[in-house]
Structures are given as C-alpha cells and as structure tokens.
Structure 1
Amino acid sequence: MSLLKGVAEKNTRAGFRAERREVDAAVPQGLLKAARKSGQLNLSGRNLSEVPQCVWRINVDIPEEANQNLSFSTTERWWEQTDLTKLIISNNKLQSLTDDLRLLPALTVLDIHDNQLTSLPSAIRELENLQKLNVSHNKLQILPEEITKLRNLKGLYLQHNELTCIPEGFEQLFNLEDLDISNNRLTTVPASFSSLSSLVRLNLSSNQLKSLPAEISGMKKLKHLDCNSNLLETVPPELANMESLELLYLRRNKLCFLPEFPSCRLLKELHVGENQIEILGPEHLKHLNSILVLDLRDNKIKSVPDEITLLQSLERLDLSNNDISSLPCSLGKLHLKFLALEGNPLRTIRREIINKGTQEVLKYLRSKIKDDGPSQSDSVIETAMTLPSESRVNVHAIVTLKILDYSDKQTTLIPDEVFDAVKSNIITSVNFSKNQLCEIPKRIVELKEMVSDVNLSFNKLSFISLELCMLQKLTFLDLRNNFLNSLPEEMESLIRLQTINLSFNRFKILPEVLYHIPTLETILISNNQVGSVDPQKMKAMENLMTLDLQNNDLLQIPPELGNCVTLRTLLLDGNPFRVPRAAILMKGTAAILEYLRDRIPT
C-alpha cells in the first residue's frame, strides 16, 4: 500500500484529469502504469524542460484508468500500487526541480544527471530513504544545506558542476560510501570530511585544490582517492597512515617530492605522473609491498634505485619522459607486463631493444647481471607448480600471478586445456604472443569479466574477431608484429582501453575506431605504412599522452596536430616528410608541438 494512499483518497477526479492532459504529451500512461507495479520510472532523454506533475503525484492521485474501468483484475488493483523507489530523469533540459519532490518519500535512487539544474529544492531533505543521488553534469553552484539531512545516502555524484564549496554539516552523511566531486571549482576540502567514516571512494580530481587537510587520514575505510588535475604542491604526511588505501591518483599536480607510505600496505596503484618530482629513492619504495601499478611519467627523475626489486608484485611501471640516463640491471628481475621508457636520455640500452617492448628490455637487463643463474623461483614456475595433467600450462602463473600464459609455442591454435586450466581462478592477463595464430581464440570471451591485459604480439593475425571486442575491462592490448591493416568499429566498446600497440603491422591510416576510444592514453603504431592522421579528431582525445608514429609514410605533418596539447610524447622519426626538420625533432615533443602551432594558417 502506498505511503500516500490517504492523500490519494482526498483528490478530485477533475484535478487529475487536468494533470492527465499534461502527461499525455510528455509521459506515456503505460509507463506510469508499469512504474506503479515496479516502483521504477525511467524518463531519461525525453527532452523534458520540467517534470510533469503526474510524475511527482504518481503515488498520490487515482490513475486515469481507474476512472474509466470499475472492474479490476488481481493485477490491476491500483490501490495496491508500489511506492516509487527509483526515478531517472537524466539527459533532459531541466533547469529546476519543485518542492513537489517531497511527494516521493520512498525514493532510494534519484538520477538527474545531464540537465541544466542550477540549484536543488530544499524539499530534498524529506527524501529520508534516498541512498543514491546523481546530480552530475549540471550547473550547480551551491548545494543546499538540506542535503546533509540525507542520512541514508551511500552514493553522491556531483561531478561536472560549478561548485566552489561544500556546505556545513556535510560530515553528517556518515553512511556515504562513494563521493564524486570531480570537475568542479573547489579550492579547499573541509577538515570535517574525516568524519565520513564509511567512505570507500572519493574523487576530488579536476578542481583547484592547493592542499589536502591532514584530517583526511581519518577516513579509515577509504580505498580509492583521486586527486588528479589539481594544484597540490604537497600531500599531508598523514596520508601515509591510511591503511585501507588501494588506489591513489595524484597526476597532473605540482608535487616536487614523492610521498612515503609506511602504513599503506594494501596500496596497489600509485599514479604521480605529470608532476615535478626529481628523486625516486629507496625510502619511497620499501613499503610498497602490494603495488601493481607505479606511474611516474612526465617528472624530472634522474635515476632508479636498485631497491626497485623490492616491488615484487609490480606489473606496470611507467617512467616515460623523465631524465633517466641508465637503468639498474636488477630491474630485469621483476615480472613486469608493461614498462614505458620513451622520452628518457637512456645511454645504456639501444633504441632497437626498447622498441621491441617490455619483455626484450627485461631480458636484456637480466643478461647484464653477473653470475645470473636460474633462480629458485624460476624452477618453481617451470616444474613444481605445474600439474602433470596440464604439463603445457603454467599453473603457477594462473594461481599466483593471475596470468594465462601460453606464449612462444609456435602453435597455430590455443589448446582447450589452456582455457580449462583457468577453472575458478581470477585471470587478469593473457599472453599468447610468439605463436602462429591466424585468428584470436574464441574462448578468450570466457575471460571477459576479468581480463585487463592481452598480449597477441608476434602472431599472424590479419583481422580482429568480435570476441576481443567483448573484453570490456581491457586496459592494455598488444597486437604488434602481425598482419593487420584495419580494426573493427566494434572495438569502440573497449571503454577502458588505455594502451594499444599496433607497431609492425600493415596499417596505411590510423584506424578510425581509435579516435572514438576516449580513454586511450598511449597509441604505438610505428613501423607501418600510415600516410595520414586526423588532427581534429585527435585533439578530441583528451587523455592521449603518447603517440608513436615512427617509421611510417607521413609525407607531411598537419600543423593542427600542434593543438593536441595533452601529448607528452610524439615520436615522428623515420618518416619521409621534410618539415619539421631533424633539429626540431631532437628538441622533443613540446618543441615539435610549438613548431606546428606556429604554422597553423590564420
């Protein structure tokens, strides 16, 4: 029975009919009827400039069909309707909401993202059951203090607004688990935030923060902290005491020193790229026992300490665009899946070795270690942990490293026993490189819910099957040294893809689908036959930082490419164009982009 049934009985039929005429044009009656049964109403993308009264009064007024039909089946008893608990009115043209919002007190989810709201009504305080509120992508400049009364709120999404401050009493939202205030105009974070003791995820990226309060360490359950794209010059030492922290993003700030993390034993990802950090010392590494991803790109680091070998769990290390002239040979002992070194003045490793990729670099570094015999761990990987029934499958890698590895077998197909060996284990990486595969194994789709890295390099692939396009958690894809000349448009569904390596294939243009994957940060497409790129579409790729076009067929570089200001590494050597000349190329990416911008026709 509705919470507002008593109100419903007092309403007149005439009042409802006037409202019914309004809803005819905006909200289909069938949708309202279904919502009374399910408790959910989705009005997304209907070009609404205001919310019709019949929506607010859905549980208050007698339905129109009740006035026309006096006999009801069991399924049509309107008086047994379900209270509306979920309302989605996103992607419309709403500029305001009325206080009639209070007529939906049972709401647990209210989604009004992508509208034109400049404020929220004070009546929002009466939605005491609300657990999720999404007001992202609007034009909010202030939040009403009444929002702090939503004590059951677990998810609050305020990103992409115009907020400059947080209201007093915000810490009263003590059940809040997920808070996104990114892409606003905040200059400070209240110290009282420390009282948000249930918070698991906090996104403060793309604001104007110059500091973080030391009290932030009071968030004992916080696992994910994103402070990318702010003005931070330091982070409070107390941050190092956040024992639950797993993901920390500090990219694109003004940090001069790398923080130390003595208590962050669970930290898996540390992103401090695009800062001004000069020193990477043993003290910064010795506590990062669980680290999987370490992003140090675009800093001023001059050397890497031997203690890097302490990071035995490390899978991704990005050192690109620093001032590193040599690497410790001990780095070769790590089981890295991805190592980025572009843009460093390295003197100890030849360019052709770096171009061959991570595994060749690690192999080279290992070869330089004196008296390097087979280690105990290597023998365990190859023998003791390999079950007799699955002798060709590296079970240790599956169980311990979460890698499905069947590389360097020179096989034309991947045996079923390889996929069968996964069983109930979680797999994050697939390595089928250095085989003779002419097509991608169809059973790879079985891993679509978990795999993030796929290496299919050094095979004979001439096309990409749709099974690969279904791996929606994919972040890293290595397809170099194949026979590819195109990519399917279905790859646009790879909404998390950050790095793709297409070097040593047969592409004549940059594949169109790459322009439509906004998450891409690195495109490696050297040693192909690429003759052109579209600078306008490339400019829209806001996350693209590395573009390797070396050894292609570019006869000219479009000046508009200089507008791609997010690029930190642009490699153009080995193309037949005349300008920019070699002297400009040697000065690095910033000089190349400036040169190109100066030649844009006015």
Structure 2
Amino acid sequence: MQKRSSLQPRPTKASMLRQQGGGTGQQQQQQQPKSRPVNVAGTSPVPQQQQQPTVNKRNSKAQASEGIRAFMAAHRAVAAQRKKTSDSSSSMDKHQERPKIRVMTGAERYSYDDSDPFGMQNDKASLKLQTVIHQAKSSGKLNLSNRNLDRVPDEVWSMYHVDPNKIVVDFSSTDDAWYDSTELNKLIAADNAITEIDERIGQEFGALTLVDFRNNKLEKLPESLRQLHQLTVLHLSHNQIEIFPEQIYDLGARLRDLDLSHNLLTAVPQSIERLSQLEILHLNDNKIENVADGIGQLVKLRKLYLNENQLVELPALHHLQKWTKLEEMHLFKNQLRVLFRGDSARSSIVVALPLLSRLDVRQNSLTQIVEGEKVEISLPKLKELLLAYNQLSQDANGLEQVMAKAPSVQTLDLSSNLFSEIPDVVLTLQGLRRLDVSANHLRMLRPDLGKLEHLAVLSWEGNPLRSAPRNVSMAELIESLRSKLVLAEDQEKEGVPAANPGDNSDKEILSTGVSSSPASPSAAAAAASSTPQSPRPSGTLDLSRKQLSDLEPSMLSGHNPATLQLQHNMLETIPIQPLSSCQLTTTLVTLKLDHNRLKELTLTTTTDNNVFHSLKTLSITNSRISQLSVANTTEQQQMVFPQLVELDISINALTSLPENLRDYLPSLRTLKANTNRIDKIMPQTLDGLEIIDLGNNDIAYLPPEIGRIGTIRELMLYGNRFRIPRPAVLDQGTGAVLEFLKRRLGS
C-alpha cells in the first residue's frame, strides 16, 4: 500500500476548468491524488503526474475564496445595519417631529436677546417683527402700519446696532451680512395708536426720505426731526397736533410733500415761508382761521389744500403773485366772502396764475370774486371753476372779469347761488363742456347757450322756470336750444323780428325736447305754409298706464300738449281720429306709444286729417309691430309723418324695413330698430340718416355701400349674424366700421 502524502495540492480555478473541458461527459468517481516522493537527500523531487480531483457536476462554477466571502459578508452586515437604522428613524419621525436647528450666518449670528441666542422661541408676533426688520435692512423700507402699536418698538431703533464680540464673518454664506445692510430711507407707521415719536429717529435714521405717521395720536414731534435733512415727504394727517410744528421749518431744504390734514391746527404761521421747496401742502380739515402772508413765498407750490377750515379771508392778492407753478387750489367749505382780495395801498394789481387748472371755492359765503377796482387776475389754463353754494349773482364784482381771463374753462359750476339770469360772460367760454346753473333764480334758459358748440352737460333743475323742461333728456334739451338759435338766426336773415327771449316762445323749446337738427329754411317755410294755424303747444299730457284700448276725445279736450304719453296701455292702432278731432295732429311734437298692442305702423294716408304735421319724435317700442306698411290704394297718398325726425321701433317683430323709407319719412335723422328680426338691410334705407341702431337683429350681410353714406354719425350693429366686419372692428366704433366698408368697395 502506497503511503499518502502529507501535502495535498490545492485545486485552482484554471485546473478545474481544464478538467471540465476535457471530460467525456460521463460522471467520474473522485479519487485521491497520489502523493509525491519525499525529498530525502535534500535534492529536488522528481515531478510526478497527478490526477486532479473531479467535481460533481460538469457545469458548476468555482467557489469564491475565503477572503472574498469574508469581505462580502462584512458588507452585507453593514448594509443590513443601515437599513435597520433607517427603518427605525422613519418610525420615530411619524410620532415625534425632530426639532429644527436654525443655522445663522452673517448678520444673523448677532442676537438681540441673550436669553434666546439662536432664535428658537416660537413667539409669532416677535418673529414677524424681526422678519420685517430683516427685510427693511435689505430694502431700506420699514412698514409698521396697522399693528396696534402705542410706540415704536425698541428693536426698530436698535436694528443697526452690532456687537463686535458676536460678529462671525462667514464668506461662504449667501445671506445678507451686517456689512451689506441698506440704510433706512422710508419709515411707515400709519394706522396705529402711537402717542409719541422717540428722539432716536433723528439719531438712528439720518437717511430717511419719507416718514409716514398718519392716523395716530401724536400731539407733538421730536426735536431730533430737525436732523432728517434728506426728508422729502412727511405725512402726519389724522393726529392731534394743535400748533404748527417748528421742527418742520428746518427741513425746508428738501421737503416737497407735507400733509398735516385732519389735525387741530388753528393758524398757518409766517415761518412757513422757510419751506421753499414745498410742492404739495395738505392743511385741510383743521380749524385754521388765519393764513399768514408767508404762504405766498412758496414759489414751487403746485397743489394747495385748505378746504374744510374756518378761513374768513386769504392773503392779499399781491402776496400770491409768486405762485406761478400752482396747479390746484382747494378752498371749499370755508367762510370766505371775497376770493381775491386787493390792497388799498396799491393803485393797481396785476397777477397771473399761469398753470392753475382747478379752483374749488364751493360752500363758502362769497358775494364777490375780486375786491378792488384796479385788480386784474389772469387764469389762462383754468379748466374747472367751481363756485357752487355761495351768494353770488350776475352783478357780483369780478365775476365777469375773472371769467374773461379764463378762456379755457371746461367745467363751470354756478349752482345754488342767487343768479336770476345766466351771465353774458358764460357765452364767451367756447370750450365749455359742463354748465351747472341748478338751484338759482332763473326764469328762463337762454337759447343762445346753443352757441357753445362743445356743451354736453347742462344742469338746470331747481329754478323757477316759467315752462320747465319735462321728460327731456339732457342731450335733447341742448339740441333744442341750438335749434331755437338757428331758427332765430334764420328769421333775422329774412327780416322777421326775433322773438323776445322772455315771451312764451321759449315754452316750446323748454318743454318739447326736440333732439334733431333743424330743417332747412326752405323746408321750414314749406311746412309753415301747409300747417294750419293753431295755438302754440306746451307741456306734457300723461295718459300712460290707464289700460286704454281706445282714446276718447273728452280725455283730450282742454289740452294742447307738445308731448303726449300713452305708454303701457292696450291700444291696437294709433288713435288718429281722437287726436285729429282735438287738432292735436297739427300741434303734437312728441308721441310715445311704448308697450301697447300695435301690429303695424302705416306711413301713408289719403286723408289730410290723418297727417301729423308737427310730430318730431315717435316712440313705439315693445308693441308687437311686424311691419311698416303703406296704404294700398290708387288714390293720391300723403305722408303721415312729414316732419318726423326720430323714430324708435325697438323691441318689436319687424323682419324688414322699406327700401324707400326716406320717401315716406323725408325728415328722418334717427332710426332705432334694435331687437327685432330684421334679416336684410339695403343701403337706400339708411340714406340720409345720422343715428342708426340695428343691433340685436338677424342681419346676415352688411352691404359695403353703407360706407359711402356720408351723413352717418353713429351706427350700431352689434348682435347680428354677419361675420364681416368682425366684432373687433365693431368695437372700434362707427368710424372704423365705415372705413372698413369703404375699403371693401375699394374706395
């Protein structure tokens, strides 16, 4: 038996792979390798071929070494421990939130409170204040408004204090450091209950340009306010200041906006002249009785508010001649008796306020505008002159003088005064747009107000007019005045004496409400020759909401109205016979038949008694009208409405309009047919019209030829079915629509 060798060779991966590759595919029995001969004599042993051990399976892999297995086991143990720790942490976080540690760098490393050096307290109000202060350091604006404060917190006054022993400079931080702070230039503490401003305001915040302590309880100001030499805006309204603060005078080098309104001031001292750079001065809603002459030295003043005080007079006019930059002066609700006061020591005074655009002197006790015979004041840029609620009359001294030197006035308020007639100087204001003469003693409205081409608003209510306008819109009233003026001019040219403005001829103008342009002189003469003579109509007869299905002549007897109202009844036809029997067909100017049951409107007749010779305005809205018809007869026909200027047939069931509409309504200027079922429109129908409303119909096509109608001033077409022009063009107005249609024609 061969002796087993004590040394057994270790199988390698390479030898095992060679053995697997050279096998016969059959499983072999594993045999022990033969031992090598022992080196007895110390010589090298002779190598002997050994049979390598076989493995159980031909495709099995070699096993990893002990070192590799130990290394991988160690890593698996570490990974398992990490997973176990992570799961444990997640479970704890669900039940208990870990405290957050604030990492403070830069300027935040300095603590204002040694008891809480890391800012871990949860005092919400304190934290909010610190946040506001922090933001102010970077923006330069500190807003403490509406915090119910009775004083400014000490943290504010010490916001820029830095303890050298607590500064940590961290150049890796992205936060704002103490050396990056911006000087405070705006301090706002409005809407609180602050009773006193600390003296530290001038010592700590010398760069302030705006200070706002509105709506507090201040009675005085700190002396250190004088040190704010950069201050330009100071707002102290709605406080309890009784004496004009002297500290403000030292801010005159830069102060431009000063608001001391809604305080308890009683006087404006002479020292106010030291505020030489002041542009806006609010002193309204105080108890000021006297204003020193020094206010006239504010050469840069643009807006002055002295309203709602107890002023009896202003400084003499020559003290105000340096107000060359003044734009607005508000003096309403005082006790002024004279607006511009002269000086008896001076022979003549000439003052110009070249930029003044608004002068408000309402609710005073003015009896005259200028005091003194040789006083001249020029207001070339004045746009608004408000003189309401005074005691002025057409004889008030200086009224015509001031208006004559104010040619640019657009708004003139003379309401609630003592005028018995409108001053002649008003007619010289060619740019006038709004005139208010309500609540005076006027007996008539002057027809020559029609000379004011731009007049758009005329308020006359509250006057004892002999024939007050009723049921007349403002535009209709103004247009009627212009029509009356044109008629008077035509009569003057023909040698006919013009009617006295005070006679009954004004009653027609003041009560009819004709809103159309006047007819030509030849047409007027022809109409006059064909119209039977009758008493001049006046006033309005209101028979609306009477449930009338027919009109009885007895209802009309004894009346000669210019306007007849029959709205909200049950009339099925126009009651021509009753009107004709009372001769109202020859005198009626306005007829309103809205909300009745008329099914058609006949435009022609064979009987002269059925002709409305003077009718200018006809309104038949919401009355079920389905067509505008013409009498079907071979007899000679007459026009029912030869003088009709405005026709309103909106909210009916019309499907079309006559192509030759102007043949039956030759004087028509305004056609309103909104909210019908009109599906087609012809250019001939609109020829000669000025105002056309065809909105909310079914018009599918808009003829481009309409663009050539030169009389159209207003064209409303919204709510129809046509797609051209697009709504964007319609929104631009009549001019854009007509221009679009012209381009469609290639003209």
Q: TM-score range by the shorter chain?
A: 0.5 to 0.7
Tell me by how many angstroms 1:362 deviates: 1.0
Tell me by how many angstroms 1:16 deviates: 8.0
> 3-state DSSP class of the match of 2:290?
coil
Residue equivalent to 2:695:
412
Residue equivalent to 1:76:
176
2:246 equivalent to 1:130: no
**2:321 corresponds to which of 204, 210, 217:** 217
**1:299 corresponds to which of 402, 417, 431:** 417
Deviations 1:166-193 (A, max 9, x none): 3452211111000000000111111011
2:260 equivalent to 1:158: yes
User: What amino acid maps onto 1:88 in structure 2?
Assistant: I
**2:480 corresponds to which of 329, 345, 364:** 364
Q: How does 1:411-450 map to 2 (within 5 A)?
A: 412=695
Q: How does 1:514-529 map to 2 (within 5 A)?
A: none
Residue equivalent to 1:58:
159
> 3-state DSSP class of the match of 1:270?
strand
Question: Using a 3 Å threshold, how does the CA distance of structure 1 residues 63 and 76 change in structure 2: closer, same or farther?
Answer: farther
Name the CA distance, whole Å, in 2 between partners of 1:341 and 1:361: 10
Name the CA distance, whole Å, in 1 between partners of 2:694 and 2:112: 77
Q: How does 1:272-311 map to 2 (within 5 A)?
A: 272-279=387-394, 282-311=400-429
Tell me by how many angstroms 1:119 deviates: 1.3
Residue equivalent to 1:230:
334
> 3-state DSSP class of the match of 1:360?
helix
**1:336 corresponds to which of 455, 476, 501:** 455
Q: Is the CA contact (8 Å cut-off) linking 1:412 and 1:437 kept in structure 2?
A: yes
Greater RCO (CA < 8 Å, at least 6 residues apart)? 1
User: What amino acid maps onto 1:271 in structure 2?
Assistant: L
Name the CA distance, whole Å, in 2 between partners of 1:63 and 1:86: 27
Q: Is the CA contact (8 Å cut-off) linking 1:48 and 1:93 kept in structure 2?
A: yes
Q: Is the CA contact (8 Å cut-off) linking 2:312 and 2:334 kept in structure 1?
A: yes
Residue equivalent to 2:274:
172
RMSD: 3.7
Name the CA distance, whole Å, in 2 between partners of 1:197 and 1:302: 40
Q: How does 1:258-269 map to 2 (within 5 A)?
A: 258-259=369-370, 262-269=377-384
Unaligned runs of 5+ in 1: 1-8, 374-378, 380-406, 414-431, 448-602
Question: Using a 3 Å threshold, how does the CA distance of structure 1 residues 166 and 282 change in structure 2: closer, same or farther?
Answer: closer
Question: Using a 3 Å threshold, how does the CA distance of structure 1 residues 17 and 138 change in structure 2: closer, same or farther?
Answer: farther
Residue equivalent to 1:488:
none
Q: Is the CA contact (8 Å cut-off) linking 1:209 and 1:230 kept in structure 2?
A: yes
Name the CA distance, whole Å, in 2 between partners of 1:60 and 1:165: 41
Question: Using a 3 Å threshold, how does the CA distance of structure 1 residues 172 and 433 change in structure 2: closer, same or farther?
Answer: farther
Tell me by how many angstroms 1:263 deviates: 1.1
Q: Is the CA contact (8 Å cut-off) linking 2:364 and 2:390 kept in structure 1?
A: yes
Q: How does 1:370-385 map to 2 (within 5 A)?
A: 370=487, 372=489
User: What amino acid maps onto 1:341 in structure 2?
Assistant: W
Residue equivalent to 2:309:
207
> 3-state DSSP class of the match of 1:192?
helix
Q: Is the CA contact (8 Å cut-off) linking 1:329 and 1:368 kept in structure 2?
A: yes
Q: Is the CA contact (8 Å cut-off) linking 2:315 and 2:341 kept in structure 1?
A: no
Identity percentage of aligned residues: 32
2:359 equivalent to 1:248: yes
User: What amino acid maps onto 2:157 in structure 1?
Assistant: W
Deviations 1:391-439 (A, max 9, x none): xxxxxxxxxxxxxxxx9441539xxxxxxxxxxxxxxxxxx99957789
Tell me by how many angstroms 1:155 deviates: 0.3
Residue equivalent to 1:404:
none
Q: Is the CA contact (8 Å cut-off) linking 1:306 and 1:331 kept in structure 2?
A: no
Tell me by how many angstroms 1:75 deviates: 4.5
User: What amino acid maps onto 2:322 in structure 1?
Assistant: G
User: What amino acid maps onto 2:331 in structure 1?
Assistant: C
Residue equivalent to 1:148:
249
Residue equivalent to 1:196:
298
Question: Using a 3 Å threshold, how does the CA distance of structure 1 residues 75 and 237 change in structure 2: closer, same or farther?
Answer: same
Residue equivalent to 1:477:
none
User: What amino acid maps onto 2:136 in structure 1?
Assistant: A
Q: Is the CA contact (8 Å cut-off) linking 2:691 and 2:714 kept in structure 1?
A: yes
Unaligned runs of 5+ in 2: 1-106, 343-349, 491-516, 518-689, 697-712, 721-725, 733-747
Name the TM-score, length of structure 1 as normaliser: 0.57
Larger radius of gyration between Structure 1 and Structure 2: 2
2:469 equivalent to 1:350: yes
Residue equivalent to 2:680:
none
Name the CA distance, whole Å, in 1 between partners of 2:277 and 2:304: 13
Question: Using a 3 Å threshold, how does the CA distance of structure 1 residues 169 and 26 change in structure 2: closer, same or farther?
Answer: farther
Name the CA distance, whole Å, in 1 between partners of 2:173 and 2:269: 50
Name the CA distance, whole Å, in 1 between partners of 2:215 and 2:431: 40
User: What amino acid maps onto 1:109 in structure 2?
Assistant: L
Residue equivalent to 2:434:
316
Q: Is the CA contact (8 Å cut-off) linking 2:438 and 2:459 kept in structure 1?
A: yes
> 3-state DSSP class of the match of 1:153?
coil
Question: Using a 3 Å threshold, how does the CA distance of structure 1 residues 283 and 174 change in structure 2: closer, same or farther?
Answer: closer
Residue equivalent to 2:193:
93
User: What amino acid maps onto 1:368 in structure 2?
Assistant: K
Name the CA distance, whole Å, in 1 between partners of 2:479 and 2:728: 30
> 3-state DSSP class of the match of 1:169?
helix
Deviations 1:33-88 (A, max 9, x none): 11111111111111111101222232344699x86885663541221211011111
Name the TM-score, length of structure 2 as normaliser: 0.47
